[in-house]
Amino acid sequence: MAFSLSSYPVVYRAKCSQGKWLGEYIEKPHKTPEEEAALSEADKNALADSRNFYADMPLVNYTSQYGLGCFEGIKALPQKDGGLAIFRPDRNAERFYNSMKGLYMPPFPKDEFVGACVEIIKRNAALGFRVRYKAEWEKDSFMTADSIYIRPFTIAESGIGVNISGEPWVMIVTTPVSSYFSGGNSDAVITDRIRATPKGTGWIKAASNYVIAALAKHEAAEAGYMECVFLDAANHTYVEEGSSCNIFFYLKSGELVTPELGDTILPGITRASIIELAKDKGIRVSERKIAIDEALDESKECFVSGTAAGATPIESLTYKGRKQVFNNGKVGELTAEIRDSLKGIQYGTLPDEKGWLLKVV
């Protein structure tokens, strides 16, 4: 797993009180990056814990008790020119704003969101906590490349009865991450669990959505699969998304299909970027319902997308005992093109003609 609690020492915290947001930057305990790397495992864990606990925040609240919260995932990526850049933070700011509104929280201002993401990266980099570009990543199209994961999230105020949050906190932490998917295969399986239901919170990046995803992903891993894929709640017929990612099917007809957005599917920033890149390449892209039978019968390539996943190929998809292998188990041509274009822009080896990168340092 790419993620760890080795978070960088500078964090951002904002509190909403009487409809106004007040933010601050907090520098948690730390040594130099070199000194921390030399610590014993026990001392590293103790230091990580010291950064992860806040004595002045309530344990009993609407988030801890009922899962009432939302979060975002953003990457700051080391650039070939030596700098750091954040990928499309304005889109994450918009989705975070919408997620908070969807949960009836006072939404966090979009400009403050972007500004805090930039500042937290700058402050940690000034202390030496950053990721630096490695030319060796180019050999596998950045599939094993490192980056900085930015995690904004909400924590509700004290509460013990079922209720909404009127005065939440917004926290932003950062941590170095490697590739999200790892292991010997990229096989996926259809789970019989339901991720989201109509009129629910599937379109919100809500913390509670990921309980089912975590269970299904664990069950898939126990069965030997890298990923699980959900079908729709109403008919259990149409493909929706993976455990933490959107999904694409490249059909034999030349059509690239991804499930259409609605109240059960998360509007992924990477998903939107891939759609744009594919259209630029002259690919016919459709956002529509796709039945599992059509996906298995007509697809020649399949891949999943997300902040952590990037554009990760799926070599096979299993449904009710039927295993459909895509492109003879090898990375498809279009999948590779999309992945290489996306990663090239993100890491600065290709020109950012769309203005997707926000340079930080």
242 and 275 share a domain? yes
Tell me whether residue 3 is in a domain: no
Tell me whether residue 252 is in a domain: yes
Q: pLDDT tens-digit profile of 82-107?
A: 999 999 999 999 999 999 999 999 99
259 vs 180, more confident? 259
Tell me whether residue 350 is in a domain: no
Q: Would you give the distance in Å from CA 336 to the centre of its chain?
A: 20
Tell me whether residue 358 is in a domain: no
Which residues constitute the domain of residue 171? 10-177
22 has pLDDT over 50: yes
93 and 39 share a domain? yes
Q: Which of 177, 212, 240 delimits the end of a domain? A: 177
293 has pLDDT over 50: yes
110 and 212 share a domain? no
Task: Give mean pLDDT, residues 263-288.
Answer: 98
The alpha-helical segments, DSSP class H, found in the chain are 33-37, 41-52, 62-66, 89-102, 110-126, 209-222, 269-280, 292-298, 333-347
Distance CA 12, CA 172 (A): 5
Q: pLDDT tens-digit profile of 48-65?
A: 999 999 999 999 999 999
Distance CA 98, CA 58 (A): 25
3 has pLDDT over 70: no
The sheet carrying 20-27 orders its strands as: 20-27, 10-17, 169-177, 147-155, 74-78, 84-87, 357-359
266 has pLDDT over 60: yes
**What is residue 40's predicted lDDT score, i.e. its pLDDT?**
96
165 and 195 share a domain? no
Share of the chain above pLDDT 70, in %: 98
**What is residue 2's predicted lDDT score, i.e. its pLDDT?**
63
Among 189, 215, 212, 217, CA closest to 201: 212
**What is residue 179's predicted lDDT score, i.e. its pLDDT?**
74
164 has pLDDT over 60: yes
10 has pLDDT over 90: yes
Tell me whether residue 37 is in a domain: yes
1 has pLDDT over 60: no
CATH classification of the domain holding 228: 3.20.10.10
Can you read off the two tokens belonging to residue 229? 């894929």
119 and 226 share a domain? no
Confidence band, pLDDT 50/70/90 cuts, at residue 183 = low
Tell me whether residue 344 is in a domain: no
Q: Which of 151, 177, 203 delimits the end of a domain? A: 177
160 and 278 share a domain? no
Tell me whether residue 312 is in a domain: yes
207 and 155 share a domain? no
Task: Give mean pLDDT, residues 271-276.
Answer: 98
155 and 216 share a domain? no
Task: Give mean pLDDT, residues 207-217.
Answer: 97
